[in-house]
Amino acid sequence: MNQTLERPSYPRKLKLTLAYDGSGYHGWQRQPGGVLTVQETLEHALARVVQHPVAVRGAGRTDTGVHAAGQVAAFYTNSPIPAERFSHALNSRLPADIRIRQTEDVDFSFDPILSVRTKLYRYTVFNHTDLPPQADKYSYHFWKTCSVEPMQQAAKFFVGKHDFTSFSAAGSVRQTMVRTLLRCQVHRRYHWIYFDLEADGFLYHMVRNIVGTLLEIGRGHWPPEAIPEILAARWVSHSRLFHVEELRLRFGNGVERTYERLNPGFHGAVMVVPVRDDGRLLLVREYGAGVGDYYLSFPKGAVHAEESMLDAANRELMEEVGFGAHELELLTELSLSPSYMGNRMSIVLARGLFEKRLPGDEPEPLTVSAHTFDELIELQASGVLNEAYAVAALFLARERLAAAEAP
3-state secondary structure of 82: coil
Bridge-partner residues for 185, per DSSP?
A: 196
Residues belonging to the chain: 407
Contact between 39 and 26 under an 8 Å Cβ cutoff? The reply is no
Q: Quick one: which of 129, 159, 150 has its CA closest to 141? A: 129
Q: How far apart are CA 214 and CA 207, in angstroms?
A: 11
Active site (annotated) includes residue 63: yes
Write down the catalytic residue from 21, 63, 130, 293.
63
Distance of CA 119 to the CA centre of its chain: 19
Q: Quick one: which of 4, 11, 7 has its CA closest to 81? A: 11
Give the containing element (helix H, strand E) for 84. Answer: helix 83-91
3-state secondary structure of 212: helix
Contact between 304 and 319 under an 8 Å Cβ cutoff? The reply is no
Q: What is the DSSP string of 350-404?
A: EEEEEE-------SSPPEEEEE-HHHHHHHHHTTSS--HHHHHHHHHHHHHHHHH
Q: How far apart are CA 399 and CA 389, in angstroms?
A: 15
Q: How far apart are CA 30 and CA 320, in angstroms?
A: 30
> Which residues are catalytic, by number?
63
